[in-house]
């Protein structure tokens, strides 16, 4: 326990340095990798996108510092000290508690991501992430400030309920931010290696499917770290229909660079236009799929009616 305490104290004192150090290092590695081995040609000016995408990152960092008096690790330390949360109530071996916490927090992030696609008003916020016309390392950090505040509130609630060790929260935050940069990168990965990593983790090719303009592809591959959630809950799509080179990135109907690539337009994006058909309960059926669905329904109802007849015969 004393080792745990000293490690926790060291992490608490150096947490911002650890986090920023990882952010800059992974960002630099992915940015260089994107130049050496890009997966797709970018469609709009990289400098304009990077200035604006990084602009929203700095704005979000400032807003979070202003609104939240403490960081997630401080809240975890407070929860440990006051025996808050499941893992502080039951005695769980330290290493197992760290593993459970990291996996549970990742599952919550997966559920939160499904939620922002499912609820129309939240999809408006999340559109800022999806409206990027290209997919690269900066896309991974591009979120509307209100979505970032909501994420913080969900993370704080999860910490209070789970009661994770301080080190688990630091590992989770560093891994999440590093993986978000990795799996949004415009990098070419040998296909065999992609398959091996994908057994457990999300790869750039897997997450690129989620940024397709096709609505069934947008509503798939919600995971940020572990790939298991999409496979377990039936939201996994292996490859984009159009192929990685020819698929379209972004949202149907949102192509104006002022709106999707420049900071003021991005900040206003949740408040303009209609919700669009991407949100799960607003999806509109094309004529073709309506017809197909109609055929399926008539097949099902004929099977049901024959079953009814069968039961009725039995009764007689
Ligand atoms: Zn999404
Ligand atoms: Zn994404």
Q: Tell me which residue range forms the domain holding 248.
A: 2-280
Residues 185 and 230 in one domain: yes
Residues 269 and 301 in one domain: no
Distance (Å) from CA 2 to ligand 2 centroid: 40
Residues 88 and 193 in one domain: yes
Distance (Å) from CA 71 to ligand 1 centroid: 25
Residue 97 CB contacts under 8 Å (≥ 6 apart), including other chains: 87, 164, 165, 168
Residues 243 and 308 in one domain: no
- Residue in the block written with tokens 């992430």: 129
Distance (Å) from CA 45 to ligand 1 centroid: 23
The full length of the chain comes to: 316
What does the alpha-carbon distance between residue 240 and residue 217 come to, in Å, rounded to a whole number? 7
Q: Nearest ligand to the C-alpha of residue 117? A: 1
Q: Pick from 159, 175, 123, 158: which is nearest to 144 by CA?
A: 123
Contact 166, 77 (CB under 8 A): yes
Distance (Å) from CA 90 to ligand 1 centroid: 35
Q: Nearest ligand to the C-alpha of residue 184? A: 2
Q: Torsions phi, psi of 226, nearest 5?
A: -85, 135
Per-residue pLDDT of the chain (316 residues; tens, 9 = 90+): 455 567 777 877 888 898 899 999 999 999 999 999 999 999 989 999 999 999 999 999 999 999 998 889 889 999 998 999 999 999 899 999 999 999 999 999 999 999 999 999 999 999 999 999 999 999 999 999 999 999 999 999 999 999 999 999 999 999 999 999 999 999 999 999 999 999 999 999 999 999 999 988 999 999 999 999 999 999 999 999 999 999 999 998 898 988 999 999 999 999 998 776 676 666 655 555 555 545 544 554 454 444 434 344 333 3
Distance (Å) from CA 234 to ligand 2 centroid: 18
Residues 198 and 295 in one domain: no
What does the alpha-carbon distance between residue 140 and residue 312 come to, in Å, rounded to a whole number? 59
Distance (Å) from CA 80 to ligand 1 centroid: 32
The domain total for the chain is 2
Cβ count within 10 A of residue 239: 13
Residues 296 and 219 in one domain: no
Residues 254 and 299 in one domain: no
- Residue in the block written with tokens 């993986």: 179
Q: Nearest ligand to the C-alpha of residue 125? A: 1
Residues 295 and 229 in one domain: no
Distance (Å) from CA 207 to ligand 2 centroid: 6
Distance (Å) from CA 165 to ligand 1 centroid: 29
Q: Nearest ligand to the C-alpha of residue 222? A: 1
Residues 163 and 235 in one domain: yes
Tokens of 294: 């109609």
Distance (Å) from CA 98 to ligand 1 centroid: 27
Residues 69 and 186 in one domain: yes
Q: What pLDDT was estimated at residue 284?
A: 58
Residues 168 and 249 in one domain: yes
Residues 168 and 303 in one domain: no
């Amino acid at each position: 326990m004393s080792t745990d305490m000293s490690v926790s104290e060291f992490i608490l004192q150096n947490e911002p340095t650890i986090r920023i150090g990882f952010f800059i290092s992974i960002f630099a590695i992915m940015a260089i990798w994107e130049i050496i081995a890009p997966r797709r040609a970018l469609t709009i000016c990289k400098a304009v996108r990077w200035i604006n995408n990084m602009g929203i990152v700095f704005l979000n960092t400032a807003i979070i510092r202003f609104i939240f008096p403490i960081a997630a690790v401080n809240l975890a330390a407070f929860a440990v000290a006051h025996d808050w949360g499941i893992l502080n109530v039951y005695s769980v071996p330290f290493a197992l508690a760290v593993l459970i916490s990291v996996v549970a927090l990742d599952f919550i992030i997966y559920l939160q991501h499904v939620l922002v696609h499912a609820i129309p008003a939240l999809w408006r916020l999340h559109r800022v992430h999806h409206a990027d016309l290209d997919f690269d390392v900066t896309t991974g950090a591009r979120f509307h400030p209100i979505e970032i505040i909501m994420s913080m509130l969900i993370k704080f609630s999860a910490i209070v309920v789970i009661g994770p060790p301080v080190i688990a929260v630091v590992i989770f935050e560093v891994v999440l931010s590093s993986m978000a940069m990795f799996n949004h990168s415009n990098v070419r990965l040998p296909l065999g290696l992609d398959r091996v990593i994908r057994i457990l983790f999300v790869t750039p090719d897997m997450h690129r499917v989620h940024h397709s303009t096709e609505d069934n592809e947008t509503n798939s591959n919600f995971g940020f770290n572990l790939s298991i959630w999409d496979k377990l809950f039936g939201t996994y799509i292996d490859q984009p229909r159009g192929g990685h080179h020819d698929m379209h990135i972004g949202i149907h109907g949102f192509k104006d660079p002022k709106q999707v690539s420049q900071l003021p337009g991005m900040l206003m994006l949740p408040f303009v236009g209609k919700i669009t058909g991407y949100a799960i309960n607003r999806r509109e059926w094309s004529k073709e799929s309506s017809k197909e669905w109609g055929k399926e329904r008539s097949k099902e109802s004929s099977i049901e009616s024959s079953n009814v007849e069968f039961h009725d015969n039995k009764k007689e």
